């Protein structure tokens, strides 16, 4: 990818090896680590031609069965057993990490050490301690580092962030997110031995389903909580050992409060994000944004008003539809542009630690039945997580079929 | 009211004293204790003729100014300085207690001891300990005892209760009430020295604004929490000493959880009550009820389903409008019917302790920064409340005008 002009002189009809040669100078050559559900989806996207400047250069997977499947599916794409071999092949400029959560940081660190750009799937990792180490490796490498927070591409949340950062909503006072529409039946949990186990995933709905919302909870408002008091219920209406029902209360430095409620057993669930500020309230629900906007800030009205039962004038605004979200394609496109043209990353990898810190704090608060302050006590969280992994006697009774092979070891 | 048939022989045109004489045998003669905002509203209602079988027989108020005002407003209605004098006059069969919160139980006990029926305004009292004593006095007296939980007359909440008690929603799993639309500007708090003080009201939004919702939170679902973890913020955006911003997390015996969020400073606030059960979800918001109903219970679907990403079939039902709420008139009518004809009370006074227990538990949890279990530790709660009253150094800087006179002493 050193000289884009070279590519224009070459023919479209060429062998795979010629294509590889070309791409070294014109395109970002992606290698995918782990071709399970997410990884194979990314591979298809890269093969579709929808991401300008990007191509699928190689894949790797620890499962022989999965490698054979990949060879047949993506004819001509080199398939490796280990990510180290793939990196050492010189075929890739960037890796897209889609292996089990626990291995995200170590895979990223290995790639950074070899001077390869990294786009990591969510969550950044399972515990903050390892993710901080990943961030440090990224900084040392000088390479591009992104995270697949595709919900940051969603125009609704981008609009919310813009309305807040521009001051339209005023100082934030309350953030209530009821995100209980992560319905997962027992059949889902039975589809892989690693699913919803401390050793295999390191958590439940917080680690697997909610990373996007936990990121957006802080990204849209531009504030991290200062402390959290949370209540996790494990195996709620499901035969699993990790949490799948969570209520978390958060406090922010400016006195604002928030609530985050999630579940995998509610049917139907709710996805309603309400943010209240000094200038009104914004609610995102059912894919729509409504902004109840005060003509004057509440604090100003309150200071000037002399009538006991008066309230500030408020306009209900239906914010125009913001268009479709480019989702994963948007994230990979942005990451590719960052490498090729220095575009600003929408989801810098280093920011993966923010949502994960909230996630870890929720776990820690519930485990210790106490407040968890932020920045997180990483050592205490790690020790508590380890305790649960070591103490686990959980064995799935009825694993029906692997919807996604255990492509890389899910063990801790 | 001993012999209804006597009344039918008498003329409609009669003097006040004749009317009183008649009413002793045909109507419930109400005496109102405290004619501030609420009490004078009730007096007007009784005078309006809208409550069949009820009449305004007397009022009492500790404020000379207020008594003079009452004499001029309700010509011919006896006005007393003390409730004891009013009770001893023999003019009243029932009292409607609308004095400051702290005095509700003592006034009720005094009336029960004289064999008079009691309809008490909400809250039942300020702390469970005194309210339990009131309930015991009611039981000893054998008299009718009601509480002005007029929101129990609201067809929306009655319908919710019916859908739950009949099993339509299935076993309850989650109850989230965001009730932040209790906007009160500083001018409201400045309208009385007793307002929003520990000594004058014994609390803030929980005691003054939320008693209805705290009652409905348990009444509609037919379950009390077993423990509560709550977070109260005092003087949030307002110059007051009590709580006006509350987030409470509740757990129930069956494993269900709930959240209750309230505030007096959010503008505009939200009033959204969401209840999830094994058969779906009901949301009451903006005066409408929506029922997302599953064709088969979630638990049954989950047990039979074998598809990892499947979810149960769900129908969105817009429950027909349930009509207007008779509000206070409905409660007084029901109480009158209970006395005259043995009608079942919609809001038995003894049940006032339920919502207040939740309210007290929320306070206690926040004060002790710990769980509060139910039934409540009454002594601990009382001691903590007393501590706040004794330690109060709060003095209102800028009391503008009394929107309601301090009709009976608000001191503890």
> From the CA of A307, how many Å to the nearest CA of chain B?
6
pLDDT digits (tens, 9 = 90+) for A282-311: 999 999 999 999 999 999 999 999 999 999
Which positions in chain A touch B265 (Cβ < 8 Å)?
A: 173, 298, 302
- Is residue A354 one of the residues assigned to a domain? yes
| B35/chain A closest Cα distance in angstroms | 19
Q: What percent of chain B lies above the pLDDT cut of 90? A: 87
Are A305 and B186 a contacting pair at CB < 8 A?
yes
* CATH code for the domain in which residue B85 is found: 3.40.50.720
- Judged against a pLDDT cut of 70, whether residue A11 lies above it is answered with no
Is residue B33 one of the residues assigned to a domain? yes
By Cβ distance, the residue of B191, B257, B314 closest to A308 is: B191
**Chain B neighbors of A233, CB-CB under 8 A:** 255, 257
CA distance B75 to B316: 55
Would you state the structure tokens that stand for residue B348, as one six-digit string? 């038995």
Asked whether the beta carbons of residue A312 and residue B267 sit closer than 8 angstroms, the reply is yes
For residue A291, the chain B residue with the least C-alpha distance is B268
Q: Looking at the domain assignment, is residue A18 inside a domain?
A: no
Lowest mean pLDDT among A370-379, B61-70, B315-324: B315-324
For residue range B333-365, what is the model confidence (pLDDT) as tens digits? 999 999 999 999 999 999 999 999 999 999 999
For residues B197 and B124, membership in a common domain is answered with no
**Residue environment code for B252-277, b if the CB has 16+ CB neighbours within 10 A, otherwise e:** beeebbbbbbbbbbbbbbbbbbbbbb
pLDDT at position A404: 40
The domain boundary, picked from A133, A149, A165, lies at A149
What's the CA gap between B195 and B206, in Å, rounded?
Answer: 13
Closest-CA distance of chain A to residue B243, Å? 14
Q: Which of A70-79, A272-281, A388-397, B225-234 has the lowest mean pLDDT?
A: A388-397
Same domain as A262, residue A233: yes
Nearest CB to B267; choose among A187, A255, A294: A294
Q: Of A255, A268, A306, which is closest to B292 when you measure between CB atoms?
A: A268
Residues in Cβ contact with B45 at an 8 Å cutoff, skipping those fewer than 6 apart = B51, B328, B329, B332
**Residue B403 pLDDT > 60:** no
A175 and A131 within one domain: no
Token couple for A212: 């996007």
Using 50, 70 and 90 to split pLDDT, how confident is the model at B393?
confident
How far is CA A84 from each of CA A90, B70, B111, rounded to the nearest angstrom?
A: 11, 90, 85
A/B interface, count of CB pairs below 8 Å: 153
Q: Is residue A239 in a domain?
A: yes
Q: Could you count the other beta carbons within 10 Å of the beta carbon of residue A37?
A: 12
Q: Nearest chain B Cα to A298, which residue?
A: B267
Q: Which member of B188, B308, B309 has the closest CB to residue A309?
A: B188
Residues A143 and A163 in one domain: no
Instruction: Say yes or no: A129 and A231 in one domain.
Output: no
- For residue B303, the distance in angstroms to the closest alpha carbon of chain A comes to 8
Residue A336 has pLDDT above 70, yes or no: yes
Mean pLDDT rounded to a whole number for chain A: 91
Interface test with A, best of B257, B268, B304 (most A CBs within 10 A): B268
The structure's pTM equals: 0.91
Count Cβ atoms within 10 A of the Cβ of residue A142 and give its class: 0-12 exposed, 13-18 middle, 19 or more buried: exposed
Give chain B positions within 8 Å (CB) of A249. Answer: 231, 247, 249
- Residue A310: list chain B partners with CB under 8 A: 185, 187
State whether B127 and B218 are in the same domain: no
Contacts of B204 (CB under 8 A, 6+ apart): B196, B234, B240, B242, B243, B244, B264
Q: Per the domain annotation, does B271 fall within a domain?
A: yes
Answer whether residue B407 is part of any domain. no
Query: Any residues with CB less than 8 A from the CB of B336 and at least 6 apart, and which?
Result: B28, B51, B52, B53, B54
CB contact under 8 A, B188 and A301: no
Share of chain A above pLDDT 70, in %: 90
Q: If you measure CA to CA, which chain A residue comes closest to B402?
A: A308
The shortest C-alpha distance from A309 to chain B (Å) reads 6
Kindly state whether residues B145 and B160 are assigned to the same domain: no
Per-residue model confidence (pLDDT) at position A322: 77
Distance of residue B223 Cα from the nearest chain A Cα, in angstroms: 19
Is the pLDDT at A406 greater than 80? The verdict is no
Question: A97, A132, A149: which is the final residue of a domain?
Answer: A149
Give the best residue of B205, B307, B308 to mutate against chain A (max A CB count within 10 A). Answer: B308
Claim to verify: residue A183 and residue A319 sit in the same structural domain = yes
CATH number of the domain residue B255 falls in: 3.30.360.10
pLDDT, tens only, B202-255:
999 999 999 999 999 999 999 999 999 999 999 999 999 999 999 999 999 999
Q: In 3D, which of A188, A248, A189, A250 has the Cα closest to residue A223?
A: A250
Domain-embedded: residue B1:
no
Tokens representing A158 are 């981008």
- Under the banding of pLDDT at 50, 70 and 90, the label for residue B113 is very high
C-alpha dihedral (A280, A284, A289, A295), degrees to nearest 10: 0
Answer yes or no: do A186 and A305 share one domain. yes
Residue A401's pLDDT is: 44
Nearest neighbour of A236 by CB, restricted to B255, B270, B283: B255
CA distance A172 to chain B (A): 11
Set of chain B residues whose Cβ sits within 8 Å of the Cβ of A253: none
Q: Inter-chain contact B311–A255, Cβ cutoff 8 Å?
A: no
Whether residue A308 and residue B251 make contact (CB cut-off 8 A), yes or no, is: no
Residues B371, B271 share a domain: yes
Buried b (16+ CB within 10 A) or exposed e, B202-214: bbbbbbbbbbbbb
Could you tell me if residue A80 is inside a domain?
yes
Distances (CA, A) of A46 to A120, A329, A346, B271: 15, 9, 19, 46
* Minimum-distance CB partner of A261 among B236, B259, B267: B259
Q: Could you tell me if A283 and A167 lie in one domain? A: yes
CA–chain centroid gap for B85, Å, is 27
Same domain, B283 and B202: yes
Say which of A187, A294, A308 has its CB closest to residue B307. Answer: A187
Residue B133 domain boundaries: 25-149
The CA distance from B348 to the nearest CA of chain A, in Å, is: 30
Secondary element (H or E) of residue B387: helix B378-391
How many domains does chain B divide into? 2
**How much is the average pLDDT of A206-233?**
98
């Amino acid at each position: 990818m050193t000289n884009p002009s070279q590519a224009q002189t070459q023919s479209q009809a060429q062998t795979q090896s010629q294509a590889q040669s070309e791409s070294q100078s014109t395109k970002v050559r992606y290698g995918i680590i782990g071709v399970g559900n997410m990884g194979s989806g990314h591979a298809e996207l890269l093969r579709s031609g929808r991401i300008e400047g990007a191509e699928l250069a190689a894949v790797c997977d620890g499962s022989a069965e999965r490698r054979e499947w990949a060879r047949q599916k993506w004819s001509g794409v080199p398939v490796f057993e280990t990510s180290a071999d793939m990196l050492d092949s010189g075929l890739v400029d960037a890796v897209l990490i889609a292996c089990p959560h626990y291995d995200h940081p170590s895979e990223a660190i290995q790639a950074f050490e070899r001077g390869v750009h990294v786009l990591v799937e969510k969550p950044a990792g399972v515990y903050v301690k390892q993710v901080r180490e990943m961030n440090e490796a990224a900084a040392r490498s000088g390479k591009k580092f992104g995270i697949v927070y595709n919900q940051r591409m969603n125009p609704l949340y981008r609009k919310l962030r813009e309305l807040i950062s521009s001051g339209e909503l005023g100082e934030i006072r309350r953030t209530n997110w009821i995100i209980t529409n992560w319905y997962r039946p027992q059949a889902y949990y039975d589809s892989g031995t690693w699913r919803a186990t401390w050793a295999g995933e390191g958590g439940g709905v917080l680690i697997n389903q909610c990373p996007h919302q936990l990121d957006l909870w802080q990204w849209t408002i531009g504030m991290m909580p200062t402390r959290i008091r949370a209540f996790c219920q494990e195996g709620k209406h499901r035969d699993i050992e990790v949490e799948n029902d969570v209520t978390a209360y958060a406090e922010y430095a400016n006195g604002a409060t928030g609530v985050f409620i999630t579940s995998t057993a509610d049917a139907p669930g709710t996805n309603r994000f309400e943010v209240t500020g000094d200038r009104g309230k914004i609610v995102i629900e059912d894919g729509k944004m409504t902004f109840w906007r005060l003509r004057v800030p509440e604090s100003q009205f309150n200071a000037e008003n002399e009538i006991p039962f008066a309230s500030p004038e408020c306009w209900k605004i239906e914010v125009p539809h913001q268009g479709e979200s480019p989702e994963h394609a948007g994230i990979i496109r942005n990451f590719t542009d960052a490498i090729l043209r220095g575009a600003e990353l929408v989801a810098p990898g280093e920011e993966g630690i923010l949502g994960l810190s909230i996630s870890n704090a929720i776990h820690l608060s519930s485990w210790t039945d106490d407040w968890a302050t932020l920045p997180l006590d990483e050592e205490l969280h790690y020790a508590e997580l380890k305790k649960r992994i070591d103490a686990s006697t959980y064995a799935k009774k009825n694993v029906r079929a692997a919807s996604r092979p255990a492509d890389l070891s899910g063990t801790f």
